[in-house]
Amino acid sequence: MNIILFDEMPYNGLIPASDDRAKHITRVLKLSVGDCFKMGIINKSEGDATVMAISEQGVEISYEPKLVPSLYPVTLLCAQVRPICMKRILREAVSLGVGRIILCGSDTGEKSYLSSNLYKTGEYKLYLLDGAMQSSHAGMPDVLFANTADGAVKMVKEVCSENVDTIMLDNVVGAVPLSTASVGKETVLAIGPERGWTDRERALFSRNGYRPMLLGSRVLRTETACSAGVSVLLSRMGLL
């Protein structure tokens, strides 16, 4: 936990003793009155907090916001995979600073993934939070859902700018290395399920202007492709 995050400023500056964040401050960080720690309000501010008092009621703090968090102009369009893998994808995507995530069903993916408890219960948000805290920043991307790749492509047109650059990671003939590609200032990176995109989905992306690119000759798991692909893309955009 490299930053302690809140949805909003604690009421009267008091973090209740029952709150895991209060426990982290006193038991893990072992902070005392007068000590400081990095704190943020999700998607609103980042700054420094000072411990003003510690009591049975909790930890009283003062907070000095210093900047507004920002995310990179990258949309990760990712096909659904097993929930245990998706947890890692979400956490790492947020830690890398992705600005938006679109999760979609696919022709070869298990349909049950779409209705996983990971999404029904809102558990996935915990992995977004974990990624943000790991990154030491308060920015957290929106996560959007589509039932199919078709729906995801349509969603991109609705939420991204007209001039957004669109890339499909795939090992089809004619795909060029992402590591040498010229990319736009705002980019969508589409990554398929474990069994890859089908020919129908490839044609769909191609019709909508997605350029096929690859990460080398090796076949990667979706979670590996997401982390590697986003990292290479950010490097090509001059953001790393």
Q: What pLDDT score does 172 carry?
A: 84
Instruction: With a cut of 80, say whether residue 207 has pLDDT above it.
Output: yes
CA atoms of 109 and 238, how far apart (whole Å):
33
Contacts with 110 (C-beta within 8 Å, 6 or more apart), sequence order: 80, 82
Taking residues 197-211, what's their average pLDDT? Answer: 96
CA atoms of 6 and 66, how far apart (whole Å):
15
Q: What pLDDT score does 210 carry?
A: 97
Q: Answer for the pair 135, 97: CB distance below 8 angstroms, yes or no.
A: yes
**φ, ψ at 121 (rounded to 5°):** -90, -10
Q: What pLDDT score does 232 carry?
A: 98
Taking residues 193-201, what's their average pLDDT? Answer: 94
* CATH code of the domain occupying 72-236: 3.40.1280.10
Tell me: the pLDDT tens digits for 53-92? 999 999 999 999 999 999 999 999 999 999 999 999 999 9
Q: What pLDDT score does 192 carry?
A: 96
Q: What pLDDT score does 236 carry?
A: 96
Q: What pLDDT score does 53 carry?
A: 98
Q: What pLDDT score does 217 carry?
A: 87
Q: Answer for the pair 99, 74: CB distance below 8 angstroms, yes or no.
A: yes
Contacts with 173 (C-beta within 8 Å, 6 or more apart), sequence order: none
Instruction: Kindly list the domain boundaries of the chain, sorted by start residue.
Output: 4-67, 72-236
Tell me: the pLDDT tens digits for 146-165? 999 999 999 999 999 999 99
How high is the mean pLDDT of the chain? 96
Number of neighbours of residue 203 by Cβ within 10 angstroms? 11
pTM: 0.94
Tell me: the pLDDT tens digits for 28-54? 999 999 999 999 999 999 999 999 999
Taking residues 184-212, what's their average pLDDT? Answer: 96
Residue whose C-alpha is closest to residue 220's, from 211, 229, 212? 229
Domain 4-67 is classified in which CATH homologous superfamily?
A: Hypothetical PUA domain-like; domain 1 (2.40.240.20)
Q: Answer for the pair 167, 74: CB distance below 8 angstroms, yes or no.
A: no
Strands (E), the chain: 4-6, 14-16, 36-41, 45-55, 58-67, 72-79, 98-104, 142-146, 165-169, 176-177, 187-191, 211-214
Q: What pLDDT score does 56 carry?
A: 96
Instruction: With a cut of 80, say whether residue 179 has pLDDT above it.
Output: yes
